[in-house]
Amino acid sequence: MKRILAAIFVACIMVAVAFAYFHHRHVEAQRQAFDASSPIFTNIPTAAKPALPRGSAPDLVQQLPGGAHAVVFADMVELRASSFANELASLAPTPAQDPSYTNFVRATGFDYTRDLDRVAVALWPQTSPTSVLALAQGRFDEAKIERYVLRSGRRVKINGTYVYEVRAQNSPRLVRFAFLNPHEIALADGPAISGVLGPERIRLDPPMAARAAAVSRAPIYLVARTQDLSKDLGVDASKSAQLARLLSSVHAISAAGQPAGKNLNISASAECDSTVDAFELSTTLQGLLWMGRAALADPKTQQQIGPQWPALDAALKAADISHDSNFVRLRLQLTPQMLHAAAASSANGVPQR
């Protein structure tokens, strides 16, 4: 009897190992197919392969001032040409639903859906003198925009360049913007705009520039550095010392999006202090992911979350987490169904609890 039980036990182990092996092969095949359609990341930003030429896009990012905590870039020309953009546009409010924007377009002649080509944004904490600075390329009617701004603002000179200042609504901050040339403007909510004006410009610092170069093949991306990821993400990790320690080991994040038909392939990479930290963080996040999927399978949980649960459920099912050296990777394919579910839940509002 003991031999029979032992044989059954060994057989079960072999079946489990075989299942795990084939599951691993299947997942790896999916990851490789995803990466092949979205060649975004290299493992080490400082050793990144040269990015493919993208016109003046890399130059726009490199013109951002140094010291920013995060950098965001979007090539609106490439994004507008994708099928995914059409899906996204179908969810945008119509002019009748947003009369204030219609009035803005009429007064300035600028509509971001057709006139904005590329934008690069530098971000700082809200407590900083400047929290956002953007450089934008496109088609601008300088005369119309100037008349519109001077209704409530003024024009000053900084580093030899005319700068327009407008008080932000419900904020003590001054929004400043300037025309760098007929097709490029700079805009900031603080004094950092002086860093992109005049001959002595403060360029993006080398570590951020290297990380941006590593993902510059993608038409939309973000790179950021962090000293306290839990705080930056608004995550309360106080109840888990291990999670708090692992999140504190992350010192840089990169994320990029690549249209793939009607979908958007999203890849994110968290750079940890060590390979061990990356392995532990990946394992922890995989566990949380499976727990989230299991929780959303419960009708009671679905009822508690309300109309947002289908979009959240689809995102959790599509997400894939892995690790590679000292990097933790997230892969997610955003589909039209997920977009429409999220839009529907937003329209329905958050349920009362």
Contact status, residue 345 vs residue 307, Cβ threshold 8 Å: yes
pLDDT, tens digit, for every residue of 1-54?
444 333 333 333 333 333 333 333 444 454 555 555 554 554 344 333 333 344
Instruction: Kindly state the helix (H) or strand (E) to which residue 179 belongs, with its residue range.
Output: strand 174-181
pLDDT of residue 280: 93
63 and 181 in a common domain: yes
Q: Considering the domain boundaries, does residue 4 fall inside one?
A: no
Residue 251 and residue 133 share a domain: no
Is residue 327 within 8 A of residue 269, CB to CB? The reply is: yes
**353, burial (CB in 10 Å: exposed 0-12, middle 13-18, buried 19+):** exposed
Instruction: Note whether 143 and 232 are same-domain residues.
Output: no
Which comes out higher in pLDDT, residue 184 or 91? 184
Count: domains in the chain: 2
Establish if 246 belongs to a structural domain: yes
Q: Please give the pLDDT value at position 277.
A: 93
pLDDT band at 176 (very low <50, low <70, confident <90, very high): very high
**What is the Cα–Cα distance from 258 to 268, expressed in whole angstroms?**
12
HSE value, Cβ hemisphere, 13 Å, CA-based, for 221: 28
Read off the pLDDT of residues 262-298 as tens digits, 9 standing for 90 and up: 899 999 999 999 999 999 999 999 998 999 999 988 9
- 38 vs 301, residue with greater confidence: 301
Phi-psi region of 159 (alpha: psi -120 to 50; beta: other; left: phi over 0): left
What ranges in the chain are assigned the alpha helix state H? 2-37, 57-62, 76-80, 83-89, 99-108, 112-115, 142-149, 206-214, 229-233, 241-248, 275-296, 299-305, 309-318, 336-348
Q: Which residues form the domain of 153? A: 57-196
DSSP state of 53: P
Whole-prediction pTM value? 0.78
Return the minimum-mean-pLDDT range out of 7-21, 105-119, 123-137, 163-177: 7-21
pLDDT of residue 87: 81
